[in-house]
Each structure stands twice: as structure tokens, then as C-alpha cells.
Structure 1
Amino acid sequence: MSSVTSSALKPEDEAKGEAAFSTDVVVALDDIPESEREVVLDTVEAYSQYTPAEYKKLLRKVDWVLLPLMWILYGTQQADKTSTSTQATFGLRTDTHLVGQQFSWLSTAFYLSYLVSEFPGNYVMQRVNIGTTLACVMFVWGVIVLCIAFAKNFTDLIILRVLQGAAECTISPAFLIITGAWYTTKEHTLRAIIWGTANAGFGIITSFANYGIGSHAQAHPGGLAPWKGISFFLGSLTIFLSFFAFFFLGTPREVRWLSKDEKRMAAARVVSNQTGSDRQKRGEWKWDQFWMTWRDPQTYFFFFVTLVNSLPNGGTTSFGNLVYVSFGFTSLETLSKGTVPQNIVSVAWFLLVGYITFKRKNLRFAFMMISVVPAFIGMLAMGLLPAGTHYRWIKWGMFLMTVTGNLPGLLIWTFLPSNVAGRTKKSVTATVLFVAYCAGNAIGAQIFQAKDAPRYTPALITCAAMYGLEFVLMGSWRAYYAYKNAQRRRAIAAKNLTQQEIDQAGRLNAEADMTDFENEFFLYDI
């Protein structure tokens, strides 16, 4: 990317839409067409034109519209994705004649399809409206989930799960883009955690609904199979919610419920992130940013840390209820005594960490590393404890401890809107991240072998080992960010600029779609 040498915009030059600088500061403005340059400069200038009260009012409006909707949509997606785990305890495997590793392949196929569809999905989202894209794919996967109720055998199920994986691949990257477009870096963790708690929080709601479906089926034998009722319930709910996604979801530039001035204010509010606002549609694909992504070490940290984190997740989301059955619980007890308590603890831990990281900066890695310690201990203990129902509640407690290990997966994702700049680079990095997520989950489902049922001892020990490796990798990633920040602070100090000049130059670079790798004023959040 070419650039101009600049220092800080003078008021008279801002009015002209031109930069006049006196010191050696790289600001990427000359690559931008004149018509777009005016918007870039206006966005940066707008940052100081609104009062804190106006920003607070806008933030309150955004929170009330977006967060409840994102929570419900994300929770529904998680329930749809993992529904086969609950359905397995209510007759899915028997009625569809699954044998051996066929049940494991239902999860693996989902994530392999998710993986293959990730790059096309992210490419489409960069080119078109995010809210419309999500609404369409939600409607499609809702129909697919509903159709699972009509599956007769493994072939029917595997085809539907492949189609479901392809449809669901866009929602997590889209939510990260939306979080980055609406919120400041300080707010990223708490807001992502709020909609991320839907994995567990909405799981509580669906667990009670599934419990009711299962209880009704047991009281009326010969009626609709409970696993089919679960598909009807979740599929219909997803189709219904897709219409809300169409009318309310999107970036500030896309939504219908903000005025023109509010959209300008929303872009100005996040300009301090130095990762670029969404005020202008950047649908063009920049090959220089594509290749730059592969030269950036953080890309590989995203990949390997996510991969290792997802391996235990892939197994426990598919086999968690079956592990509870191995403790001696009934199908209904896996929900009331297993899934619901786990989800309550998960929500509480997520919200506690979200609140603390909102109040104090640079604690994400600390909590990520703390969270995997109980998960490591709990998973290892479950694998090593001998069989027998007299160990049921000890194993129950150990499995409950592992829920803290779910937190790092979401916090890893929050580094995407906080620490990756450049629209194409962000899309490629998101693809890398979710390819690793899919690969880890696909492999994780295969770690649980049918021959090891019901205890799955080798799988549990493998999951514990992954938590230990994850701890080491996260420490290395944090050290890399700290090294780069120290390096850039020294370079910035050598330029003898004021803080206002530093901030102004960094924001201009970001609005000009310069990447974090290029922007010498960008500091990584840790």
C-alpha cells in the first residue's frame, strides 16, 4: 500500500479534505479516491464533535436492539448445532439405526462442511449486506433442522448435517464483524461475552423445552418420538427468528433503525479502535492484504490456539450427554442434573470475566489461561477415576469444572475485531480462525470412539492434554503481542509526536483501510 508522509491534520487542511504534515509519519490517504477521502476525514473529525452524553444515548439504544437479538439468535444456532447430542439420548441412534462411529460422523461432517464453506461465506459477507445474508442462511438451516425429524437412516442424517454446516458457517464471523463495527475495543469482550453466554443461557431454556418434550413422549408411548419433537421445535424457532435478523441485524451502515446522523456518530464512536469503521462499504478484495495476512505471526496464533481449544469442545458438545449417561444418569437426568447446572455455571463465569475485563484493560489472556486450569484438572480426573456409580457425584463435580474451559474459545474470537485491521485481512483471518475451529471440532468428535464407550477414558485424557497445551500456546501469543507493542512504542517515541498527533494518524490509517500489520501507531490489546 502506498502512503503519504504526514504528521497531524491541521484544521484548515481537514476542511479541504487534504493532509499537510511536517514529520515522518506514515498515513495511508493517497490510495483512496477523492470522494472516499472526504468521508474518511469526516469520520475521524466527527470523533470529537459529539458529546459523551450523545454517545451514551446511542450506545444504550444499540445495546437494547442488538444484544437481546444476538443473544437469542446465537443461542438458537448453538442449540441447532448441538441438538444431535440431546437427540442421541432420546432415541435418535436407535430409530435411525446408527452403528459404530456413525454418530461421531454426524458432528465431523457438520464441521467439515462448515470448514469448506467458511471462505466463500466470508467472501460473500464482505461483498453484500451482512444482515440479509444471515437472515437467508438462518431460514435455510432452520428448514434443514426441521427436516432432521424425517430422517430414516445414516445417509439422510449425514446429508442434512452437511447442508446444516454449510448454512451455519457465517453466523459467528458475522457476529464478530458486527461487534467490531458497533463497539469500542474496551467494550468488545463484555459485549461478545453477553451474546456468547447464549451458548449456555439459551441451552438452559432449550434443555427445559427438551425435557418437556421427552417427558411428554415417555407419558404417551407410541406417539411422536422425542428426538423428532426436538427437531420440529428448534427448526420452527430458527425459521421464525430469521425474519428478525432481516429487519434488525447488520452494521451501522446497513441497519434501518438509525438516522443518518446516528450512523455517522456510530462510526465516529469506534474510530479510536484503529481497526476501521463501517461507514463506507469496502466490498473490494485487496490481494496485498490477503498475502499480508500470511506474513503476520498472529494469523498462526489464531489458527493453532483455536485448533487446540476446539478439540475438547468438539468431543464434549457431541458426547457430553452420553458422558453423563456413563455416570449412571437417565436420559432426562442428563438435562436436569447435567446440562442445566453446567450452563448456569458457564453463564456466571462468562459474565464475571466480562465485567472485570470491561473495568480493567489487558486481562483477556490472563483469564483465558486461568480458565483452562480447572478444565484440565476436571477432565484428567474424569479420565483417571475408576468406574462405578459410587464415583458418580465426584465425576459430576469434575465435569462441572470443565465448563470454565469454554471461555477461552470466545475470548480468542474477540481478538479479531480488537486486533485485526484491514477489511480483506480481517476476512481472511476470520476464515483462518474458523477453519481451525471447524477442524478442531471435527477431529474432537472422532476422539470419542465407540469402542471406548461408555467411559471414553482415552478421549477424556486427550482433552485434558489439549487444555495443557492451550495454556502454553496462549502464554506465547500474549508474549508476542507484548513484544510488538513495546517495539512500536519505542518507534513512536522516536518521532517526538504529541499524543493527539499519534491518535489522529492512527485513526486516519485505520479509516484508510490500512492493516494492523502496517499501521505503525496500532497497539494490540492483550
Structure 2
Amino acid sequence: MSQAKTSQPNDQLEHVESIEAEQPAKVAAALGDTGPKEDQALQLIEDAGGSTILTPENNARVLRRIDLRLLPILLSIYFLQQLDKSTLSYASVFGLVDKAHLHGSMYSWLGSGVYVAQLVFQPLVSYLLVKVPLGKFMAASALLWGISLSCMTAANTFPGLMVCRLLLGIFEAGIAPSFIAVTQLWYRRREQPIRLGSWYAMNGVVNMFGSLFTFGLGHIHSSIFEPYQIIFLFFGLVTVGTSVAVFLFMPDSPVTAKFLDEEDKLVAIERLRMNQQGIENHEWKWDHVKEACLDLKSWLWFALLVSISIPSGGITTFGPLIVKSFGFSDLNTILLNVPFGAVQLIATMGGAWLATAWKMKGPVLALLCLPPIAGCIMLLKIPHDASHKAPLLIGYYIISVYPGITPLIYSWSAGNTAGETKKKVTTGILIVGQCVGNIIGPTLYTTEEAPLYRRGLTSNLALFCVLVVLILLNMAYLSFLNKQHSKQRVALGKNTEVVDHSMHAVGAIIEDKEGVPVQQLVSDNAFKDLTDMKNEDFVYVY
């Protein structure tokens, strides 16, 4: 078996990020036992008689094929998921509150109910994502939540609406975790922020085009349905139709993907070797669960998601009502939500691009916290009267930078966690944190506090400040873990410093401060399904 080369000669760049296997037996010896407990990528390599060589050319070709197949599906599903959750806020503008006789905190709890269901079902979701093929899981989820949304058409009371919202939450509970799993499963760590940010940016697209769709649907006059019922029915049926396309075209993994030939599957696997995160393993490992629950990182991610999701849950549910409180009509309120979505889109993709360029996420996250802090202060200090509509809108739009924070936290966690079961459990912990925040968020706002919504905005301001502190703590801890792994490598006779090529372009020559090419990370642990803590070759990214 030929060893991975250092990146000194230009004609040997193709060897930088691959290990060529000449015999299946040697592959098994170098990469670990190919029994049922190991990554399924090992079996594919053995069946093929060895690995392949990753070059800039075949990497770009396979990445393009992966993007063309996966991204349209991911973007469509997440667009519909966010749109379906947002139908409640759109419906509130078109008379849902009055027609369903919602009063007190009833409307707030309809907003929170989805996240209560998601929170309760996260442990089951984590287990299913290890045991069930990913593509089939996503298709079934989309079908069932589309049916649940369609059923809201017939719900005209608080209990009926709450039942439908709880079902919606149950069937949507696995969407974000499965999307994070897809990102880890198909993309190098360098590529993950942009891809993860792209599907999460659908939140902004929803606020733009969802508002326009709703504006159009709001003009439909029917003797059978109220305008808000038309909104529920239309988007629910679109989701049901989309689930069929997901079932037909969404692959389960690079190992089994039918749209890739055998050579491209090997390239797809080699692309991921330097991630040190594995690819596919369907065995539930309780030692991974224990490590995820005892890992300080898991709870720092949890705290970050709670801190950002409280403002997110409140503003998502009450955003249109906040704008309406500035003195705008129902239809104008919907239209004025379009720029809010545009800012979200720019912030999300801009943050992902900056994190990729800097190869760090912590500083970008701290930077993204500053505009929402300024926006909250503006809405709290500027008088809410007709003469101040413009600055109030500007403050509201500045707050809308906050959606760029959540996908970077997802990406930060995804890139710093290894081990199939641990990845799913850690993601579950994150989603629980997001659910907790989204449950609390709407309850900090009530319709009786209009037009100032002072309690909600004040709490949001405080939490954006807390986020900055948590980000700095997490960066310090990741730096500490890298030093610990460096000591472990020295004890095992390996190089103290290695280069994490998963954060660099394929074929790039990485040099130290003196201009000397640096040895790459030897990736013999890549497909052993080791957790990040147990793999001394794992490099944490902060």
C-alpha cells in the first residue's frame, strides 16, 4: 500500500489527500477491520480492489455532480419546511386570530407548539437517522408534515389548531438534523459552511417569496374558505407533491448513490477522508452517546442554539405583527416583510462565505451578533408613531441579520464532531437547544404588549450579547482540545503539528511561516468510526 505523500513536488499533489490501496487485504489492515462495526466505505474500497487518487480535476467533477443532485432537493425541502411553519404568522395577518377566537397567549403557544413536539421527538430522530436510510427518512418526513399542514384548513379552534401544529412539529423534527447529516455525509469541511448556509438561507427566500405568494393568495375570494385556510391548503398540498420527488431522487449515501458510477463513488469517499468523520455506519453505539453527553462542546453548542433561537422564535412568530404595529395595513405588512428576507439571505450566505475565506467560524459569528444588537436598541428607543415608520423599519431589517448565526453554529458543530452515532446525538442536542429557544421565544411576546413589545425586544438584546461571550468561550475550548490532540500525537510518535487538508482546496500546497511545505494529516483513522475525542488525528476548527 502506497503511503500518502507530503505536498512538496507539484507532480505529486494528487497524492496529498488519498491513500492508494493495491490489495483489499492491505486496505483492511491499514484502515481497520471491515466488519459490521466499521464504516461501509471500507467495504466499497475493498470490493473495488483499492482506493482511488483524488485530484483537483476529479474532485471538481464529482463535487459538481453532487451539488446538482443534492442542492435542488435540499433547498426545496427546507424552503417548504420554513414556509409551512411561517404560514401561522401569515395567517395571523389574514384573520386567523379573530376567526379562531385566539386570545391571551393562545397564538404564542401555537407558535411554540411545533418546537415542543420537535424537542420531545429528538431522541427518536437521532436513533432513526443512524438506523434508517437518509433519503427515505427525508421523503417520509415531508409527506407527513405536508398532510398535517393541509389538515389545518379544517381547524377553526385553538385545540384543533394545536393538534395540527404538534403533528407538524413531530414530522418536521428530523429535517434539520437530517440536513446536517447530509452535509457531513457528502461534503468536505471546507465546503460545509456554504452548502449548509445555502439551504438554511431558504429562511430568507421564504420571507421574500413566501410573503409574495401569501400576498397573492390573500386576494383570492372564496365562499368556502377563509384566506388563511387557502394558505394552509395550498402550501400543504405543494409539500405532499414535493415528497414524491424526494423519494425518487434523494440518495441515501455516497456508498449507495445510483447517480454515481463506481469510480465516482470512490472519489466521493476519498473527498471525505480528510474530514476524519467517517461516512456511513448503521450501528448505534452507546459509548458514542455517552461521550456526546459528557462532551463540553455539546453543551456549548446547546447554549449557543438556545441563545439565538429565543430571539428567532419570537421574531419569526411576531415579525409581521411588529411591522403592522408601525401603522401599516395588512397587505402592506406582508409586502414589507420581503426586504427582511433579503437581508436574511445576504447575511446567511455572506457569513458562510466569510467563514470559508477565514477558515474560522467563531469570529464571523461574533461579527453577525452586532447588527441585531443595534436593531433591538433602535426598536426599543425610537418612538412608535407615524413620523418614525422609516427608522423603525430600518431597525427591524437590521435585526434580520440574526438568521446568519444559526447555520454557522450548525456548521461549527458538524465540522467538529466525529463518530456516526456521536454526530447524530450531538445534532440532537443542538436541535433540542433550538427547540427550547423557539418555545421560549414567542412566549416573551404577547399581543397585549403591542405596539412596543418591550419585554420581547429587551430579552432579545440581552441574548445577542450573551452569544458573543459563549462564542469566545467555545473558541478557547476548541483551541485547548487541539493542544491535547497534539500531545497525544507526540506520545504516539506522530508529528506534533499537522495540516487539516479538509479545510483547504484539493491539491493546494500548504506551507508554514518559513515557506516550507507542511506534512499532511495521515488519515489512517478516517473510516474507523472513531469519535473526535478518541481520534488523535482529528483537528478542531474554531
The Cα RMSD (Å) is 2.7
Q: Which moved more, 1:368-377 or 1:195-204?
A: 195-204
1:353 pairs, out of 337, 351, 354, with 351
List aligned pairs for 1:34-433, cutoff 5 A: 39=43, 42=46, 49-217=53-221, 224-249=225-250, 250-278=252-280, 282-337=281-336, 339-362=337-360, 364-433=361-430
SS at match of 1:298: helix
Offset of residue 214 of structure 1: 1.3
SS at match of 1:509: coil
Q: What is the identity, as a one-letter code, of the residue corresponding to 1:265?
A: V
Offset of residue 430 of structure 1: 1.1
Offset of residue 408 of structure 1: 1.1
Q: Distance in 2 between matches of 1:321 and 1:256?
A: 44
CA displacement 1:50-106 (0-9 Å, x = unmatched): 432122111111111211221111011001012101110101111111111100010
Gaps of 5+ in 2: 1-17, 500-517
Q: Distance in 1 between matches of 2:131 and 2:212?
A: 40
Q: What is the number of residues matched between the two proteins?
A: 504
Gaps of 5+ in 1: 1-7, 21-26
2:526 pairs, out of 502, 507, 510, with 510
Q: Distance in 2 between matches of 1:192 and 1:152?
A: 37
Offset of residue 31 of structure 1: 8.2
CA displacement 1:294-346 (0-9 Å, x = unmatched): 22110111111111111001100100000001111111111212x10011122
C-alpha contact (below 8 Å) 1:314/1:443 kept by paired residues: yes
Distance change (3 Å), C-alpha of 1:43 and 1:149? same
C-alpha contact (below 8 Å) 1:113/1:165 kept by paired residues: yes
Q: Distance in 2 between matches of 1:37 and 1:472?
A: 40
Q: Distance in 2 between matches of 1:44 and 1:296?
A: 37
CA displacement 1:363-400 (0-9 Å, x = unmatched): x1111111111101111221233332222111110110
1:522 aligns with 2:501: no
SS at match of 1:215: coil
SS at match of 2:537: coil
Q: Distance in 2 between matches of 1:70 and 1:228?
A: 27
SS at match of 1:510: coil
Query: In the alignment, which residue of structure 1 is the partner of 2:13?
Result: none
Q: Distance in 1 between matches of 2:409 and 2:49?
A: 32
SS at match of 1:193: helix
Q: Distance in 2 between matches of 1:494 and 1:361?
A: 28
C-alpha contact (below 8 Å) 2:42/2:527 kept by paired residues: no
Offset of residue 487 of structure 1: 3.1
CA displacement 1:464-486 (0-9 Å, x = unmatched): 11101111111111111122113
Q: Distance in 2 between matches of 1:239 and 1:9?
A: 44
C-alpha contact (below 8 Å) 1:40/1:511 kept by paired residues: no
Q: Distance in 2 between matches of 1:368 and 1:47?
A: 38
Distance change (3 Å), C-alpha of 1:34 and 1:160? closer
Q: Distance in 1 between matches of 2:339 and 2:40?
A: 52
Distance change (3 Å), C-alpha of 1:301 and 1:409? same
Distance change (3 Å), C-alpha of 1:85 and 1:190? same
Q: Distance in 1 between matches of 2:288 and 2:44?
A: 19
C-alpha contact (below 8 Å) 1:213/1:230 kept by paired residues: yes
Q: Distance in 1 between matches of 2:278 and 2:105?
A: 46
Q: Distance in 1 between matches of 2:211 and 2:81?
A: 14
Distance change (3 Å), C-alpha of 1:254 and 1:96? farther
Q: Distance in 2 between matches of 1:9 and 1:409?
A: 35
C-alpha contact (below 8 Å) 2:24/2:50 kept by paired residues: no
Distance change (3 Å), C-alpha of 1:240 and 1:11? closer
Q: Which moved more, 1:250-259 or 1:202-211?
A: 250-259
SS at match of 1:186: coil
SS at match of 1:451: helix
Distance change (3 Å), C-alpha of 1:254 and 1:167? farther
Q: Distance in 2 between matches of 1:12 and 1:348?
A: 47
Distance change (3 Å), C-alpha of 1:331 and 1:503? same
C-alpha contact (below 8 Å) 1:485/1:523 kept by paired residues: yes
Q: Distance in 2 between matches of 1:52 and 1:179?
A: 20
Distance change (3 Å), C-alpha of 1:355 and 1:10? closer
Distance change (3 Å), C-alpha of 1:167 and 1:502? farther
Q: What is the identity, as a one-letter code, of the residue corresponding to 1:271?
A: R
| TM-score where L is the length of structure 2 | 0.87
C-alpha contact (below 8 Å) 1:130/1:174 kept by paired residues: yes
Q: Distance in 2 between matches of 1:35 and 1:223?
A: 55
C-alpha contact (below 8 Å) 1:41/1:508 kept by paired residues: no
Query: In the alignment, which residue of structure 1 is the partner of 2:503?
Result: none
Offset of residue 206 of structure 1: 1.8
Q: What is the identity, as a one-letter code, of the residue corresponding to 1:306?
A: L
Q: Distance in 2 between matches of 1:508 and 1:44?
A: 18
SS at match of 1:185: coil
C-alpha contact (below 8 Å) 2:181/2:424 kept by paired residues: no
1:16 aligns with 2:18: no
Offset of residue 165 of structure 1: 0.3
Query: In the alignment, which residue of structure 2 is the partner of 1:24?
Result: none
Q: Distance in 2 between matches of 1:66 and 1:247?
A: 12
C-alpha contact (below 8 Å) 2:311/2:441 kept by paired residues: yes
Distance change (3 Å), C-alpha of 1:495 and 1:41? farther
Offset of residue 442 of structure 1: 0.3
Q: Distance in 1 between matches of 2:246 and 2:168?
A: 18
Q: Distance in 1 between matches of 2:47 and 2:494?
A: 22
Query: In the alignment, which residue of structure 1 is the partner of 2:511?
Result: none
Percentage identity across paired residues of the two chains: 28
C-alpha contact (below 8 Å) 2:211/2:338 kept by paired residues: yes
Q: Distance in 2 between matches of 1:10 and 1:371?
A: 42
C-alpha contact (below 8 Å) 2:145/2:171 kept by paired residues: yes
Q: What is the identity, as a one-letter code, of the residue corresponding to 2:235?
A: L
